[in-house]
Amino acid sequence: MMRLDKGNQRDWQGFTRILEVLSFLDEIEQRSPEEIQDTVQKFCELPPNPGQTMSMEEVVFWAGVASGMEFWRRADDESVDPGTAEKMLIFSSIFAHSMKNAIVDLALGDLESENHKPWAKLSRAA
């Protein structure tokens, strides 16, 4: 498993953005077409200097989204059989759920480690 450098805010920023997209997909049925369009527009805006501000996690995530969209297109034009498409959907749903839980666990673990080391806060303040 990849080790997360907790001191690097870009890593957390990347995971936060990934979690935003996954949460958006969970709630998409409860949103209006206008809200969906606005949210997708915001997700697809590149930062001013993407080579310096996008984390590797974000790049890999968006590559996965692009691959998933291409797979869906192939399933829609029946290049991929319905059984295979269903397997891919189930696997990706499980993976998305696991990713959300892992991000939450990482964040909670980071908070717990700071709460159990009160002297670390004192040394930073000095």
DSSP 8-state assignment for residue 117: -
Residue-wise pLDDT tens for the chain (126 aa)? Answer: 445 455 555 467 778 888 888 889 889 999 999 999 999 999 888 878 887 778 888 888 889 889 989 999 999 999 999 999 999 989 888 888 888 888 777 777 766 666 655 555 555 555
pLDDT attached to residue 1: 42
Q: Report the alpha-carbon distance of residue 56 to residue 64 in Å, rounded.
A: 12
pTM: 0.65
Q: Where are the domains of the chain?
A: 10-45+52-125
Contacts with 36 (C-beta within 8 Å, 6 or more apart), sequence order: 28
- Alpha-helical (H) ranges within the chain are 9-26, 33-43, 50-53, 56-76, 82-115, 118-125
Q: Report the alpha-carbon distance of residue 97 to residue 111 in Å, rounded.
A: 21
